[in-house]
Chain A
Amino acid sequence: AQSVTQLDSHVSVSEGTPVLLRCNYSSSYSPSLFWYVQHPNKGLQLLLKYTSAATLVKGINGFEAEFKKSETSFHLTKPSAHMSDAAEYFCVVSASSGNTGKLIFGQGTTLQVKP
């Protein structure tokens, strides 16, 4: 069975400084991994996805994530935070069982960006 753990429930950075949101996964085989973002009172937006192609995945709004099998990690980074990046971020793995397409979500990390 797969699972995903987001290591920080809350991250605070200053505008213009780097962002690092950490995610570890557990999977018995090569997983499909995603990062979603949710702005306050909004739905979920896909930032990026890893599906066993390149290990460094580039997403929207300057975000990227690196799949590291040896560390079972899929951390999300951005070189320079913007105020509009303040939101909740979810690391997600696609479930393996059958043909269901189910997603398994991490607990979420709230990103605060200070002026």
Chain B
Amino acid sequence: NAGVTQTPKFQVLKTGQSMTLQCAQDMNHNSMYWYRQDPGMGLRLIYYSASEGTTDKGEVPNGYNVSRLNKREFSLRLESAAPSQTSVYFCASKSGGGGPYGYTFGSGTRLTVV
């Protein structure tokens, strides 16, 4: 089925460990996004990629890095995980342009850092 695929769905890390969250979309969308969801705070933008080859910081980028590997894939890396990064992470993609149309969200990655 067409859409946004995130892996893994669940992950437990120890403080200081590193990991990469993977995201892939098969809708030929230009823009991709990483959000984190925390209770009582809605979703906050970590990083985004408006088009292949570009990435920019969002609202809460500290402690994260991203790679737009190609048009389909946008990965999020935690170099040294901290308990404050315990969250649910959502990847999203969108068809091109600045308008609000065509957003698709993945099903999320639930990350716990102990």
Interface string of A103-115 (1 = CB under 8 A from B): 1011110000000
B106 touches A32 (CB 8 A): no
Q: Does A14 contact B (CB under 8 A)?
A: no
A107 touches B40 (CB 8 A): yes
A43 touches B40 (CB 8 A): no
A46 touches B108 (CB 8 A): no
Once the chains are docked, how many angstroms separate the CA of A49 from the CA of B94?
A: 15
Q: Which residues of B contact A106 (CB under 8 A)?
A: 42
> Which of B19-27, B60-68, B74-82, B95-103 has 4 or more CB atoms under 8 Å from chain A?
B95-103
Once the chains are docked, how many angstroms separate the CA of A108 from the CA of B43?
A: 9
Q: Which residues of B contact A99 (CB under 8 A)?
A: 50, 97-98
Once the chains are docked, how many angstroms separate the CA of A106 from the CA of B101?
A: 19
Q: Which residues of A contact B41 (CB under 8 A)?
A: 107
B45 touches A108 (CB 8 A): no
Tell me the count of chain A residues lying within 8 A, CB to CB, of chain B: 21
A103 touches B103 (CB 8 A): yes
Q: Which residues of B contact A101 (CB under 8 A)?
A: 31, 33, 48, 50, 94, 97-100, 103
B42 touches A98 (CB 8 A): no
Interface string of A63-105 (1 = CB under 8 A from B): 0000000000000000000000000001000100011111101
Q: Which residues of A contact B58 (CB under 8 A)?
A: 102
Once the chains are docked, how many angstroms separate the CA of A51 from the CA of B101?
A: 9
